[in-house]
Amino acid sequence: MCLRTLRSLRHTLALRLTLWYGGIFAVSSTLAFALAFLLIAEVVREHTDEDLREDLQEYAAFMRLGGLDRVRTEMSVDAEGGEGHQVFFRLWRTDGRQLVATDLSAWAGLSEPKDLSARFADSDEPILETLALPWREHKVRVIHGPIAPGMVLQIGESLEDDEEFMAALFQGFLIVLAAIVAFGGPIGWFMARRALRGVQAITRTATEIAHGNLDRRVEVRAQGDELDALARTFNLMLDRIHALIIGMREMTDNLAHDLRSPLGRIRAAAEMILTDNGSKAEAEAMVATTAEECDRLLEMINTTLDIAEAESGAALLKLVEFDLVELVGDAVELFQPLAEDKQVTIAVDLPDACRIRGDRQRLQRVVANLLDNAVKYTPVGGRVTIELDDQGEWLKLSIQDTGVGISPAETARIFERFYRCDRSRSELGNGLGLSLALAFVRIHGGDIAVDSVPEQGSTFTILLPRPRPA
């Protein structure tokens, strides 16, 4: 069980983040400490060298002021007692003869300096070096330098204090580094888990949704961070999917409902023909009705597919440049006989021409659908007016009627698939005309607006973007 938990932990982002950040933090801390350590070691060494240089200058002054005796006295004072283990002095002549030296019993293995005359022939600059003596635990820093003509003083100082200081510092760094690694891991784990809590919430919600609970939403905290933005976008996406599913459900319900009656009629007609009771003429009339019903069904299915294709963005537009005025004129001509039958007047107010770039066939269906509705829902003696207004960036084609009108509540729904207002049920139709018109206008980058007053009439306005210069 424990092993399985560990194995599943291995795949968590939180653990990977913790390890990455922990690792990067530990490596960068080690590098920073190493750099600090080297810099401090350098400063400490500089400081020791400076001390030795100052000592050398002091002895040069003693020599000037009090000669060899003074130098001897000062040496024995400086190397007195315990100091004899920390520092030694040797005064040499440049020919290699030792003049004075402090007690060297604690400095076994110390060799004699060579070629003093050659080393200081051209320069009085002191020479510094570090020695490792066989019987001493700590290294020794030694300075050689002339303090009078022909005399070279050698001062050696144990680096015990410096080395102990650096060792203590190193130990301190190690402790801090160990603490960083020890506490950094759990703190990093805690932080990563905290930061990823929002992601877990989204995952939980997504899982619930996957199990069928479509109403679930992710809680959006008020922090305004990336996870909040993700949660908000996720919820928006869910709202959209939910709306689409409801839309699809409604559409399939409506489709099934609308298919049932014509299919029933077709079946009844077929049965009657089969019973063979009627005359040949009656049978032929029934076959013709059945064919008509089939055509209506096919048209309904094809229109539904056309709308779906346009709304999904899969429709391929056949863009051509044409005259919109001519297209509207053709449509008016087509509906004129129908309008005359109903004693509905069609009036047009169009410019001479209006070039537009679009899918001619689809826009033809848009205008035909709106004009068909206007004539269909306008009672005898009414009037339909078509106007085209060129507004620069937009073209406004409005189809106004003095028909039955649409109530505000129904206006909001008339573009839904299969929606038909109650009062229009007596007219032929399937409730798809406006959905198709809107879908086709929208793929052209346009829109349709409606303005209607019940019992007075409606105005449908198609807005189309102006053709851009080729």
> Which parts of this chain interact with ligand ADP (CB under 6 A)?
369, 373-374, 377, 401, 403-406, 414, 419-421, 424, 429-435, 458
Contact between 26 and 193 under an 8 Å Cβ cutoff? The reply is no
Q: State the minimum distance, in angstroms, from the CB of residue 264 to ligand ADP.
A: 20
Counting beta carbons within 10 angstroms of the beta carbon of residue 158, is it exposed (0 to 12), middle (13 to 18) or buried (19 or more)? buried
Q: State the minimum distance, in angstroms, from the CB of residue 397 to ligand ADP.
A: 14
Q: State the minimum distance, in angstroms, from the CB of residue 342 to ligand ADP.
A: 13
Return the amino acid letter for 37. F
Is 30 strand, coil or helix? Answer: helix
* Cβ-proximal residues to 304 (8 Å cutoff; 6+ apart), any chain: 251, 255, 417, 432
Q: State the minimum distance, in angstroms, from the CB of residue 384 to ligand ADP.
A: 9
Q: Which of 306, 331, 335 is nearest to 435 (CA)?
A: 306
Q: State the minimum distance, in angstroms, from the CB of residue 458 to ligand ADP.
A: 4
Cβ closer to ligand ADP: 159 or 406? 406
Cβ closer to ligand ADP: 127 or 450? 450
Cβ closer to ligand ADP: 155 or 366? 366
Contact between 398 and 362 under an 8 Å Cβ cutoff? The reply is no
Query: Residue 429 has what DSSP assignment?
Result: -
Q: State the minimum distance, in angstroms, from the CB of residue 291 to ligand ADP.
A: 21
Q: State the minimum distance, in angstroms, from the CB of residue 433 to ligand ADP.
A: 3
Cβ closer to ligand ADP: 335 or 377? 377
Give the residue nearest to ligand ADP (CB): 429
Cβ closer to ligand ADP: 290 or 304? 304
Q: Tokens representing 296?
A: 């209506």
Contact between 71 and 49 under an 8 Å Cβ cutoff? The reply is no
Q: Which helix (H) or strand (E) holds 360?
A: helix 360-376
Sheet containing strand 394-401, edge to edge, reads 345-349, 383-390, 394-401, 457-465, 447-453
Cβ closer to ligand ADP: 86 or 435? 435
Contact between 14 and 196 under an 8 Å Cβ cutoff? The reply is yes
Cβ closer to ligand ADP: 209 or 414? 414
In 325-469 the beta strands, taken as DSSP E runs, fall at: 345-349, 355-359, 383-390, 394-401, 447-453, 457-465
* Distances in whole angstroms, Cα of residue 236 to Cα of each of 208, 211, 242, 312, 377: 17, 19, 10, 19, 38
Half-sphere exposure of 61 (CA within 13 A, CB side): 6
Cβ closer to ligand ADP: 60 or 344? 344
Cβ closer to ligand ADP: 358 or 382? 382
Q: State the minimum distance, in angstroms, from the CB of residue 300 to ligand ADP.
A: 10
Other residues' Cβ atoms within 10 Å of the Cβ of residue 80: 12
Q: State the minimum distance, in angstroms, from the CB of residue 254 to ligand ADP.
A: 12
Contact between 370 and 435 under an 8 Å Cβ cutoff? The reply is no
Cβ closer to ligand ADP: 63 or 434? 434
Q: State the minimum distance, in angstroms, from the CB of residue 302 to ligand ADP.
A: 14
Q: Tokens representing 5?
A: 């938990």
